[in-house]
Structure 1
Amino acid sequence: MLIVQGQDIAKDFGSDTLFSQVNFQIEEGARIGLVGANGAGKSTLLQIINQNQAASSGQISTKKQLSIGYLAQNPQFKSGNTIYEEMERIFDYLKEDERNLRNLEKQIANTTDNQADYEHALQKYDYLQNKFKADNGYGFRSEIRSVLAGFGFSEERFNEPALNLSGGEQSRLAFAKMILEQHDLLILDEPTNHLDIDTLNWLEKYLHKYPGALLIVSHDQYFLDHTVTEIYALERATLKHYHGNYTRYLQQRTKNLQLEQKAYDKQQAQIKNTEEFIQKNIARASSTKQAQSRRKQLAKLDRLAKPQDYNQQINFQFTFEQASGNDVLSVKQLTTGYDDKIMSQAISFNLKKHERLGIIGHNGVGKSTLIRTLVNKVPPLAGNISWGMNVKAGYYDQTLNRLTSNKDVLHEVWDSHPLMNETDIRNILGSFLFQNNDVFRIVRDLSGGQKARLTLCKLALEHNNLLIMDEPTNHLDLQSKEILEQALKNFAGTVLFVSHDRYLLNEVSTKILELDAKESQIYLGNYDYYLAKKAENQALNNDEKVVNPTATSNKTAGNLSYREEKMRQSEQRKKQRQLQKLEAQIEQLEQQISDLNQQMLAPENIQSYTKLQDLQTQLNQLNQLKDDLEEQWLKLSE
């Protein structure tokens, strides 16, 4: 069933059109990602759907009494309630039902004389108890605790005043409160801000079970890949629909661009051949009529525009002037921190040439402090740091404080490389999307994304053989992240970086360093390998506890027998084939669903209630089948 439909939506700002001819549909339980370049109008479209803004033209239709939850960017709690009380307010109606049940219990106990009153009270109690149970009256407090824990609020903090929380914590609390309100549609604008990796992993699992529809704008590709099943992309000032998650959208978009280029090239060849025929034959008496006929056909031809990539993208690579030795960095029993906060873990790891080490851990565990210690911004408190031969390290600071606020963009780069000429500097800046008069903008007036691109530009010009980066994807849009990921993967040197961006960790890392409050642990693979290894170790520990609670398991993947390993690989290949088969079936159903939705929009069908009913019945059947297949896919993938 459709809950929201947009038809020919446009938004103008003065004489400028942000987008036009926007059409979309949101069904019950849909999982939609809204993507597009910064400034394309994603947040504006979300506000139009949420009726915070009016469209310049077009129509938004919603089902009756539609409940929408919209995640505000900067929420504030001013009531004086504690963290737990703010969450509990959502369920005031259940607490009222609970009080009514207690009162009815007393009434039943005290009603002994009048049989009719007794029966009436019992019936009323039975109805209210069933309703209370159906509304999760016996479990809502447990759900509050579970959701608060998922968002990083321990029970020790439940009685803290909500208004005393930091901005990031208030955003997390507002998010937690909103998803418990069980809206028909959740509109999430950058929901992954302020969330660490553990919270993101928990949130993805929770949203899989969320009964309402989701409409998500996010720069976190890993999050989109694991939460959405369709994409609406704001491209070239209008909206395009794609089936699948974000990765599949990228594949489809690339394929579409290739098809457009092929059609354009074919038409251009036809135009060239026609023009040559006209030129050769227009003056000949025997063939002038044919030439004139073709000239008329050519004049009427609807010419295709030259295909262009949908968004401007930065374009750069990291290079170095001198290679380092094979041993780049050795850290042994390192303790880091400041006078008022000392990290208790002793950190040890080795970094070899060509390796890309991703560092992860809870917020506050000391990841950035480790980076700052390695680049001599903070002195080590204990332990040893040993650098290899010819190591030249470049540092990317997530605070972007290495820029000079009162310089313009051109001189921020030029002053660091005075021997380069202005043309070369401007060409390099152009590859980071600082073009024309943009190079004269003052640094302090730049957005976070622009400052990030300028910092990357300066880093690329240093030609280091080791890149040390602290949250390099903060402030970057999806397209810029993709270019950075590719640049790091193609870099022939060595990379050490802190990130909560799981897609970057998965695509770039060759090993993972996990920090927690007490220790550090190395995992020899990317982020998916890290997750699999953690799950495997947890399963082994659980099995060992069942067999022998006092023993510790020492069987790891490396101890598997050859036979066991072959069986595991065979089972994995079988599951992969099943997944691919399910994905193909789901994609086919999605296309059928899309075709039916288009038929329902046809004027001849809109005017026929009987026809619409038939189409809706078919649509419901296909959606049910798709849900069943997606459930099978989810269980198999887990």
Structure 2
Amino acid sequence: MLSISNLSFYFGSRALYENANLHIKPKTKIGLIGANGTGKSTLLRLISGEYSPDGGNISKSGECTIGFLNQDLLSYQTDDSILEVAMQAFEKQLELQHKIDAVLHKMETNYEDKDIDVLAHLQEEFERLDGYTIQAKTEEILEGLGFSTEDLSRPLRLFSGGWRMRVMLAKLLLQKPALLLLDEPTNHLDLPSIEWVEKYIHDYEGSIVVVSHDRYFLDRTIDHIAEVSNAKITLYPGNYSFYMEEKALRNEVQKGAYENQQAQIRQTERFIERFKAKASKARQVQSRVKALDKIDIIDDVIDEKAKVNFKFNFGTQPGRFILFLEQISKAYGEKIILKNTSATINRGDKIALIGANGKGKSTLLRIISGTEKIEGERRLGHNVIESFFAQHQLESLQVENSLLDELKSTGTAKTEMELRSILGCFLFSGEEVFKKIKVLSGGEKSRVALAKVLISQANFLLLDEPTNHLDMQSVNILIQALQQYEGSYVVVSHDRFFVSQIANKIWYLEDYEIKEYPGSFEEYETWQETRKVELPSGNKKATEKPKPEIEKTIAPTTPVVNNAKQIEKLEAKIMDLENKKGEIETKMSDLAQNNEFQEMKTWEEKLRLVSNELSQVMSEWETLIA
């Protein structure tokens, strides 16, 4: 259907593609992957004809129509309703509808017999093209992508860039081109919409090439992986999980071949060095020199699984409770977000806040951070130091700073060597640490901003869509960093693989309340599927609160919240007593090593008194939170 042969394309002096090849067959669904900057989006623009190759050719069959969803469509605006914009996909049907309306309008004042024949012919053609169903099809797809029925009549210009992108996606899906090119289609979709698109693409009858960093999405939609690396395109059959297994096997074979060749080269070089001065060996030496010149060098395997090899420490340990929200309500005019809901975040909680867009996830994150006005009470726990990452914070990076200076600006006590090590973990190595912020891509700026958050000494992190603009390698680094992080955090994300790796609790918003599932994302998904089966759509019981053993909604009268002040005081006292106890035990250990047993009796009594007091305070604390 479409063939790419010996493709070359240069960005300045840098080769994005050099003699690259790819063949796209009918009904093939390809996931295009690779690190940021390798030219994935560029390849889609080359296929669509927007760019012209510097070498080689891209040929397609006559019936190969192409539809391209790209990030430039975010800026498209019009006063037409989103229903009208999406229905532009049916160009021929709309043209026929216009002609039918014109004939009917003429017949109202100037009736002629020939108009009946024209009208019949037009209506027959309109029906053949399913013209009477195009509005219903358009509404179905738009609502599948998250729009309400009321939204369909609103002008496109009133929607944000992410929602405009959904309209453009709907238009493309309705056009049903033979080859659909999608550039990061899930970037601006919430979980329900992603799942809907997954099913649609899975059932799509044409071919698809999709650029995505969402592993779950790729696993559920595509049947081939095309990897862009070293200016070449390598095609793997199967989904992303199969690609990972196959890539590991290929790397193992390549590593073995590389090591064998290097051993052969070393052996040949030793022979040349040893006998180059002997006339009797001149012919053999020359033969080996020529063989060495002609050898096709096998590249070593590049380790793309970057590992974070340091810990993000913080100096201040928080109390057992991080945050209390009591009787929280929030509304924007008539739109209610939260209503008389309460929640508690405990030390060690790794919370993923998930759900559909428009439910108030980012609003709740701002409430937790204390930057959003609310009704009710928000209270931070003892010794809590928070840090907030959001996409708009990329704009706060000092563009004239180097990467190293930007990390130094956090006031961290880390040495320059430690900061360079941290930047290395975030894929900035060597002289790259002296790059100016202003020359970085969106993904690179995200990595710098995340590094700043993670070295900020905060023991409580708030992260709003931290994986946006990150490639798979960068997401893997962030996962490792958060898995090593010893503090607590709340993360808003639609990346299911990311969430499955970093969360031990799931929060979601339902019935204007904060709901909590006390388990992993996989367990939450399984429970939700079970819930859908048990409570089918339309059943009133579907809106009822689940059983307490599965889902926890923190009631407004929770004793923990009502006694927050006493709990904070007791926590501070517990930490003080635990520190004293630790100091006494250290002192006794030193005395024992020096055989000063007489003095130890005094310290034993001190330890007994502190331990008794600690037990008493702990008992009071447990009573209050029971």
TM range (shorter): 0.7 to 0.9
Deviation of 1:381 (Å): 2.2
Q: Residue 200 in 1 paired to residue 194 in 2?
A: yes
2:387 corresponds to which residue?
394
- Cα deviation digits, residues 296-330 of structure 1 (max 9, x gap): 65565444333323698987653444655554444
1:532 corresponds to which residue?
526
- Cα deviation digits, residues 197-254 of structure 1 (max 9, x gap): 2211111112222222111112333322222111111101111111222233233223
Task: Give the Cα–Cα distance (whole angstroms) in 2 for the partners of residues 79 and 64 of structure 1.
Answer: 33
What does residue range 229-244 of structure 1 map to in structure 2 within 5 Å? 229-244=223-238
Structure-2-length-normalised TM-score: 0.74
Deviation of 1:341 (Å): 7.3
Identity across aligned pairs (percent)? 34
Q: 1:211 to 1:136 in 2, by over 3 A?
A: farther
Q: Any stretches of 5+ residues in structure 2 without a counterpart?
A: 105-112, 551-626
Task: Give the Cα–Cα distance (whole angstroms) in 1 for the partners of residues 486 and 216 of structure 2.
Answer: 25
Q: 1:295 to 1:468 in 2, by over 3 A?
A: same
2:15 corresponds to which residue?
17
Task: Give the Cα–Cα distance (whole angstroms) in 1 for the partners of residues 428 and 257 of structure 2.
Answer: 32
2:214 corresponds to which residue?
220
User: Counterpart of 2:152 in structure 1: which amino acid?
Assistant: F
Deviation of 1:10 (Å): 0.6
User: Counterpart of 1:224 in structure 2: which amino acid?
Assistant: L
Task: Give the Cα–Cα distance (whole angstroms) in 2 for the partners of residues 550 and 286 of structure 1.
Answer: 95
2:605 corresponds to which residue?
none
User: Counterpart of 1:395 in structure 2: which amino acid?
Assistant: F
Task: Give the Cα–Cα distance (whole angstroms) in 2 for the partners of residues 550 and 213 of structure 1.
Answer: 41
Q: 1:229 to 1:410 in 2, by over 3 A?
A: same
- Is the CA contact 1:104–1:125 (under 8 Å) kept in the aligned structure 2? no
Task: Give the Cα–Cα distance (whole angstroms) in 2 for the partners of residues 497 and 25 of structure 1.
Answer: 40
- Cα deviation digits, residues 103-123 of structure 1 (max 9, x gap): 999xxxxxxxx9xx9xx98xx
User: Counterpart of 2:494 in structure 1: which amino acid?
Assistant: H
Task: Give the Cα–Cα distance (whole angstroms) in 2 for the partners of residues 32 and 41 of structure 1.
Answer: 16
User: Aligned to 1:496, what secondary structure does the other structure show?
Assistant: strand
Range that drifts further, 532-541 or 48-57: 532-541
- Is the CA contact 1:337–1:381 (under 8 Å) kept in the aligned structure 2? no
2:259 corresponds to which residue?
265
Q: 1:458 to 1:92 in 2, by over 3 A?
A: closer
Range that drifts further, 276-285 or 331-340: 276-285
- Is the CA contact 1:345–1:520 (under 8 Å) kept in the aligned structure 2? no
Deviation of 1:29 (Å): 1.5
User: Counterpart of 2:10 in structure 1: which amino acid?
Assistant: D
User: Counterpart of 2:170 in structure 1: which amino acid?
Assistant: A
User: Aligned to 1:308, what secondary structure does the other structure show?
Assistant: coil
2:85 corresponds to which residue?
86
What does residue range 173-188 of structure 1 map to in structure 2 within 5 Å? 173-188=167-182
Task: Give the Cα–Cα distance (whole angstroms) in 1 for the partners of residues 6 and 307 of structure 2.
Answer: 28
1:453 corresponds to which residue?
447
Aligned pair partner of 1:136 in 105, 124, 130: 130
Q: Any stretches of 5+ residues in structure 1 without a counterpart?
A: 106-113, 560-638
Q: 1:53 to 1:74 in 2, by over 3 A?
A: closer
Deviation of 1:96 (Å): 6.3
User: Counterpart of 1:91 in structure 2: which amino acid?
Assistant: F
- Is the CA contact 1:316–1:432 (under 8 Å) kept in the aligned structure 2? no
Deviation of 1:421 (Å): 4.3
Q: Residue 489 in 1 paired to residue 483 in 2?
A: yes
- Is the CA contact 1:220–1:501 (under 8 Å) kept in the aligned structure 2? yes
Task: Give the Cα–Cα distance (whole angstroms) in 1 for the partners of residues 192 and 377 of structure 2.
Answer: 29
1:415 corresponds to which residue?
409
Structure-1-length-normalised TM-score: 0.73
Q: Which entry has the higher C-alpha Rg, 1 or 2?
A: 2
Question: CA-atom RMSD, angstroms?
Answer: 4.1
User: Counterpart of 2:364 in structure 1: which amino acid?
Assistant: L
User: Counterpart of 1:258 in structure 2: which amino acid?
Assistant: E
2:514 corresponds to which residue?
520
Task: Give the Cα–Cα distance (whole angstroms) in 1 for the partners of residues 344 and 158 of structure 2.
Answer: 42
What does residue range 625-636 of structure 1 map to in structure 2 within 5 Å? none
Deviation of 1:141 (Å): 2.2
Q: 1:368 to 1:98 in 2, by over 3 A?
A: closer
User: Aligned to 1:345, what secondary structure does the other structure show?
Assistant: strand
- Is the CA contact 1:257–1:309 (under 8 Å) kept in the aligned structure 2? no
2:328 corresponds to which residue?
334
User: Aligned to 1:23, what secondary structure does the other structure show?
Assistant: strand
> Aligned residue pairs: how many?
539
User: Counterpart of 1:195 in structure 2: which amino acid?
Assistant: L
What does residue range 94-493 of structure 1 map to in structure 2 within 5 Å? 94=93, 135-273=129-267, 301-309=295-303, 318-321=312-315, 324=318, 327-336=321-330, 343-385=337-379, 387=381, 391-400=384-393, 403-405=397-399, 407-417=401-411, 419-435=413-429, 438-444=432-438, 446-493=440-487
